[in-house]
Each structure stands twice: as structure tokens, then as C-alpha cells.
């Protein structure tokens, strides 16, 4: 069912990801969205974004965005430490929420967000954009459905230096450093509270801090995609944390009960090559989906298939469902959910599963 309704958007967080990804996509989806208000603690980022995207109201106070009468949905694009408080405040005001992944960093924090949603008339949508890529939803899922028994799978994300992709994206972003006095200290305190919940009763070391932040940032992309593709793992068999690279071996089962393992490997180096994929191996067919940097709009996301044909020959196919980028596809799904009632895939409950998986990895590393 089509609709002519335009959703009013409030933005909290006018940093790099908004300027490069969310802002341009929302601007081009002007038949569905209009940004009515924007907030940031950096006046440099705030003024730049408000001018560039023709946003009529700007403020350094998040509650002003939430309370704005023309705002239907609040986009929370801030640092991970503030997601919970902003999501709860928005839901209490009965404003819909789009919160970027990670939704939060601890299970108790996720439970508080869920409780707020349950008491609200509004909905929350978590921004796992890779799960909305047309090539993932269409070609990749279709191809792996034809594998009767999975023998092995690999989840990889070596993302390279974001700055190099951003600086070549043609979006001309501005990064402010004019933060209010005490802002960094307050941010660190919020992170420490989340770390204490993520590692209850444990000493919070720098290694734990880095691991938690890594899994929340880059890791949540891949592990969330893995969950939708393969389900939730039975166990974490092994894990390694050698910052800035992390890996794990996880166990799964096919529908017939037969086991298989999945390797997760991820890290950030200085090589400007974005190597992110999921590969699934069957006895006569291999299927992978390969992602490129989301900071350059429209880069193709392709599905690669290798299989034996009916003649016993190796056959290779490359499938591209659409050049439409993940964010644009995701925001159209968000619109369908908020306006036309389509069920949300990336819910608060779904995002909470990432945190349970993180905890399994923490426990394995602690053994």
C-alpha cells in the first residue's frame, strides 16, 4: 500500500555518519522524509549540517528535538554510550526511534530500552543496514536456501581505514572539535557504567573496553548478519582478542541435526581495501556476499556462486540485485514499518541477541 505521508525526522548526532550516509539518503528520499530538527554538541557540525541539508531547526539540546511538534521519528546517531538514554526519552515522548547499531553495549541497558518501548505507543528500529541490502535480502538468501546441508561458513570484516573512504566519498563532511567542557568526561563515565554491566563483578581493563567497543561497532554488523543468515550459535568454541584483530569459532547445526562450524574474523588495518563478506559452503555449492564501504554511496554488493552443474562442471555466477545502497533500502523499510505497519525485522529484541552473543565471546575469552 502506497502512502503520501511524509515523516518528520529529528536528528540527534550530526557527525560523520550523518553527513556522509544518513543525511544524503534522507535528503534524496524527500517523498518519504523531511528533516525538521537536528542536534549536536559541536556547533561546527551542527551549523554545517543544518545549512547543507536545509534543516529549519537546530539545537544543542536533544530534548528539543524529541519534543519538536513536527518530529515523528528520532534518529539517534550519537556515540554508543548515549543511545540508551536518548532512546528511552524518545519512547517516553511516544516518538518513534531509529537507533544506529549497536543499540547499546550491555544486556541490562537493552532490557531498559525494551521496557520503555513496551510502555510506549511508539516503535524502535535498530539500524543494521547490511541486513537490508537488496543483494542480501534477494539473491543471497535465495541461493543459500538451495544448499540442503551447510558444511562450513565464514564471516569476515577487514574494513580498512574509514577516513580514506570518507575523504573520497564526495560528501565533503566537516568534523568538529568544539565540544563543551566536560563532555568527554561525561561520555567516559557513561561508557564505564556500560562496561560494568557488560562485565559484572570483573575488573574493567583496557582490553575489555576495546573488545566491548569493537564488537559493538564493527562486530555488530557481521554478527547480526550472521544471526539472520544462520541463526543463533549453539556455542562459542574458541575466541582470540589481539587488538585490533579479533576472531572466534562458533558451532551451529543444520535442520537435520548435523553440526558445522563458523569462523568469525575481523579487524582494522591501514590497507584501504574493504574486505567484508559472509561465505557459506555446501557439498556442491559455495555462496558468498561481498560488501564494500558504506561511506561511498552505490558501491555494488555482489553475491558470488560457485557450484557443480548437471554436467559435473564448475559453474561461477555473480549476482547483483540492485545498485541501491543499504541505507536507502533500510530507510524505505523503516517508512513501510512506521507508516504502513510492516513488521520491523531489526527490533530491540533482535538487537538484544547480539549482546547475548557478545557475552558468550566474553566468557570464552575469560576461560
Taking only the tens place, the pLDDT of each residue in 139-152 is 999 999 999 999 99
Among 284, 240, 234, 238, which Cα is nearest to 260's?
234
CATH architecture, domain defined by 7-130+329-347: 3-Layer(aba) Sandwich (3.40)
pLDDT digits (tens, 9 = 90+) for 213-241: 999 999 999 999 999 999 999 999 999 99
Q: Per the structure block, which three cell numbers stand in for 115?
A: 521496557
Q: What mean pLDDT do residues 146-175 have?
A: 96
**Torsion over CA of 161, 14, 97 and 184, rounded to 10 degrees?**
80
Phi, psi of 317 (to 5 degrees): -135, 145
CATH code 3.30.360.10 region(s) in the chain: 131-324+353-366
Q: How confident is the model at residue 2 (pLDDT cuts 50, 70, 90)?
A: low
pLDDT at position 211: 98
Confidence of residue 3 (pLDDT cuts 50, 70, 90): confident
Q: Is the pLDDT of residue 367 over 70?
A: no
Q: Please give the angle made by the CA atoms of 23, 28 and 29, to the nearest 5 degrees.
A: 100
pTM value is 0.96
pLDDT at residue 1 tops 60: no
pLDDT tens, residue by residue, 15-49? 999 999 999 999 999 999 999 999 999 999 999 99
Mean pLDDT score, 168-186: 96
- pLDDT given at position 205: 98
Q: Is the pLDDT of residue 58 over 50?
A: yes
| CATH code of domain 131-324+353-366 | 3.30.360.10
Instruction: Please give the pLDDT value at position 6.
Output: 99
Establish whether the linkage from the previous residue to 71 is cis, with ω within 30° of 0.
no
> Distance between terminal CA atoms of the chain?
52
pLDDT surpasses 60 at 155: yes
Specify the 3-state DSSP secondary structure of 67.
Answer: helix
Concatenated DSSP letters for 144-166?
HHT-SSEEEEEEEEE---HHHHH
Which residues belong to CATH 3.40.50.720 in the chain?
A: 7-130+329-347
Cα four-point dihedral sign 355, 361, 366, 367: positive
Amino acid at each position: 500500500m502506497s502512502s503520501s505521508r511524509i515523516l518528520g525526522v529529528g536528528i540527534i548526532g550530526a557527525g560523520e555518519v550523518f553527513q556522509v550516509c544518513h543525511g544524503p539518503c534522507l535528503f534524496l528520499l524527500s517523498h518519504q522524509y523531511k528533516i525538521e530538527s537536528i542536534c549536536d554538541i559541536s556547533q561546527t557540525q551542527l551549523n554545517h549540517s543544518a545549512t547543507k541539508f536545509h534543516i529549519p531547526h537546530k539545537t544543542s539540546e536533544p530534548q528539543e528535538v524529541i519534543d519538536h511538534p513536527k518530529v515523528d521519528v528520532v534518529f539517534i546517531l550519537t556515540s554508543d554510550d548515549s543511545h540508551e538514554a536518548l532512546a528511552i526519552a524518545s519512547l517516553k515522548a511516544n516518538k518513534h526511534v531509529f537507533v544506529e547499531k549497536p543499540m547499546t553495549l550491555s544486556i541490562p541497558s537493552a532490557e531498559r530500552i525494551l521496557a520503555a518501548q513496551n510502555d510506549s505507543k511508539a516503535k524502535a528500529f535498530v539500524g543494521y543496514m547490511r541486513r537490508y541490502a537488496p543483494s542480501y535480502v534477494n539473491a543471497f538468501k535465495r541461493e543459500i536456501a538451495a544448499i540442503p546441508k551447510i558444511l562450513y561458513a565464514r564471516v569476515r570484516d577487514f574494513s580498512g581505514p574509514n577516513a580514506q573512504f570518507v575523504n573520497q566519498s564526495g560528501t565533503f563532511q566537516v568534523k568538529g572539535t568544539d565540544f563543551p567542557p566536560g563532555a568527554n568526561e561525561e561520555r567516559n563515565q557513561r561508557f564505564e557504567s556500560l562496561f560494568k554491566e557488560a562485565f559484572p563483578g570483573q575488573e574493567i581493563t583496557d582490553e575489555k573496553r576495546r573488545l566491548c567497543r569493537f564488537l559493538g561497532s564493527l562486530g555488530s554488523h557481521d554478527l547480526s548478519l550472521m544471526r539472520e543468515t544462520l541463526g543463533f550459535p549453539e556455542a562459542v568454541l574458541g575466541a582470540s582478542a589481539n587488538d585490533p584483530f579479533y576472531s572466534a569459532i562458533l558451532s551451529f547445526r543444520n535442520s537435520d541435526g548435523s553440526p558445522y562450524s563458523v569462523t568469525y574474523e575481523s579487524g582494522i588495518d591501514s590497507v584501504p581495501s574493504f574486505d567484508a563478506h559472509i561465505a557459506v559452503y555446501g557439498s556442491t555449492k559455495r555462496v558468498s556476499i561481498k560488501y564494500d564501504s558504506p561511506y561511498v554511496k552505490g558501491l555494488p554488493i555482489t553475491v558470488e556462486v560457485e557450484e557443480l552443474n548437471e554436467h559435473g562442471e564448475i559453474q561461477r555466477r555473480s549476482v547483483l540485485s540492485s545498485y541501491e545502497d543499504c541505507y536507502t533500502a533500510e530507510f524505505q523499510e523503516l517508512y513501510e514499518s512506521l507508516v504502513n505497519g510492516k513488521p520491523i525485522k531489526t527490533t530491540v529484541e533482535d538487537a538484544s541477541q547480539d549482546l547475548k552473543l557478545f557475552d558468550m565471546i566474553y566468557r570464552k575469552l575469560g576461560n
